[in-house]
Amino acid sequence: MLNIGILGAGTVGTGVINVLHQKSLEFENKIGSPIKVKSIAVKNIEKHKSSFSDNLIFTDKPENVVNDPEIDIIVELIGGEYPAKDLIIQAIKNGKHIVTANKEVISKHGYEIFNLAKKMGVLVYIEGSVAGGIPIIQTLKRDLIANKVNSLMGIINGTTNYILTEMAQKKRDFSEVLQEAQKLGYAEADPTSDIEAYDATYKLSIIVSLIFGNHVKVEEIYREGIDKISIRDIEYAQKLGYTIKLLAIAKHHDDGSYEARVHPTMINSEHPLASVNGAFNAIWLNGDCVGDFMLYGKGAGQLPTTSAVVADILNLAIDIKAKNILASSESHDYIKIAPIEKITSKYYVRLSTADQPGVMGIIGRDLGLSEVSINSLWQANTGEDTAEIVLITHPVTEANMNKAINLLKSSEGIKQINSLIRVE
């Protein structure tokens, strides 16, 4: 018999408590021993007592749960950085195994948590922290263990993917779609973490710690949100055979350097990620043995995240019983992510210029001086004396692209740089 203590009974906590109760016999048959929810820490005991039929023990003192000597596994579902991080650390010090869906805590404090867990001989399972119902953590840790993952691209934030999909399919502005998403409850009242890509960056930092085999500092990951994406760029992308997605990208280069970044990206509309629409998430990767590979599913929501958290509880029970060495074999160093200036990418640039002789020459000169080579270029007239020029470059370094943009900004005939989007 394994006793578990749950911290937090919000949306996911409620799902976990209900599924463990409803499927208790099924789970006991699968893992060979019963799992008992011994106690649950919540803010408001009375509110929760009335919502669960079972004979559950509630407390408003989470420290009582993490200090209970009879509890084997702590399931942390409070969310946010504090007090969740301190409770996890205390539970590990008390010799308890951990299941958590907390991306912020694992992203910022994974190094400390996994090192301490290793010292204490306990396991920390984090499937629910990335992409909800998609089993990306176990897949990377176990099923793809034979691979060197050369390249990974993920749509790992449902809110922004919903907004970009609505903009592309219904030709509606960013702010209009965001307001509607908030009304419908898809986007948070404060959408900063999703829109400005903090959420996706936390998740990417966790994914890369698995594919690169070491921890990374989340602040080294380049981050750019979707608030500057316009309908005009989406329409140009469609005409040119591309789709704009907020992508989390990681690459391990042959020279040993590591890349990790999150930003709006134009990808070929034939790429499998281009057809991931609405609030769905997907992670595509290329492994040296498996080749191209993709997982697709619901990245958030009560039952999809419950699926991940309950899987962790059951896998943990199996691994404790089997004394599974693989389960605790994570590496524990930090590696450096290459700064964004060193990254090489193709770029889409949209600029407004005077519609007069010599402007193309100026653009060619400024790009040439910056070692930026043009792959393709289009011009449309947008006013009596204004032209809109859209171009896609060959792969260039970010540093050279920035140099080119700075030169263009101060050149005669160039009115405005409207957008700059990386192309994969």
Q: Summarize as ranges the residues that interact with ligand HSE (CB under 6 A).
A: 157-159, 194, 199, 299-300
- C-alpha 378, offset from chain centre: 34
Question: Least distance to ligand HSE from the beta carbon of 299, Å?
Answer: 5
Main-chain phi, psi angles of 307, to 5 degrees: -55, -45
Do residues 244 and 233 touch, judged by C-beta distance below 8 A? Answer: yes
Q: Which is nearer to ligand HSE, 229 or 414 (CB)?
A: 229
Q: Cα–Cα distance between 273 and 268 in angstroms, integer?
A: 9
Sheet holding 2-7, edge to edge: 58-59, 35-41, 2-7, 73-76, 97-100, 124-125
Q: Is 291 left (phi over 0), alpha (psi -120 to 50) or beta?
A: left
Residue 409, C-beta contacts closer than 8 angstroms, at least 6 positions apart: 417
Whether the CA torsion 390, 391, 392, 396 is positive or negative: it is: negative
Residue 149, C-beta contacts closer than 8 angstroms, at least 6 positions apart: 140, 211, 250, 252, 285, 286, 287
Q: Cα–Cα distance between 117 and 128 in angstroms, integer?
A: 18
Q: Which is nearer to ligand HSE, 117 or 300 (CB)?
A: 300
Question: Least distance to ligand HSE from the beta carbon of 138, Å?
Answer: 18
Q: Cα–Cα distance between 8 and 286 in angstroms, integer?
A: 37
Q: Which is nearer to ligand HSE, 181 or 414 (CB)?
A: 181
Catalytic residue among 203, 245, 251, 298: 203
Do residues 168 and 162 touch, judged by C-beta distance below 8 A? Answer: no
Q: Cα–Cα distance between 247 and 207 in angstroms, integer?
A: 13
Q: Which is nearer to ligand HSE, 273 or 300 (CB)?
A: 300
Do residues 307 and 368 touch, judged by C-beta distance below 8 A? Answer: no
Question: Least distance to ligand HSE from the beta carbon of 194, Å?
Answer: 5
Q: Cα–Cα distance between 247 and 216 in angstroms, integer?
A: 18
Question: Least distance to ligand HSE from the beta carbon of 102, Å?
Answer: 10
State yes or no: is 203 an active-site residue: yes
Q: Which is nearer to ligand HSE, 110 or 299 (CB)?
A: 299
Q: Which is nearer to ligand HSE, 249 or 414 (CB)?
A: 249
Closest CA to 155 of 112, 199, 101, 93: 199
Catalytic residue annotation: 203
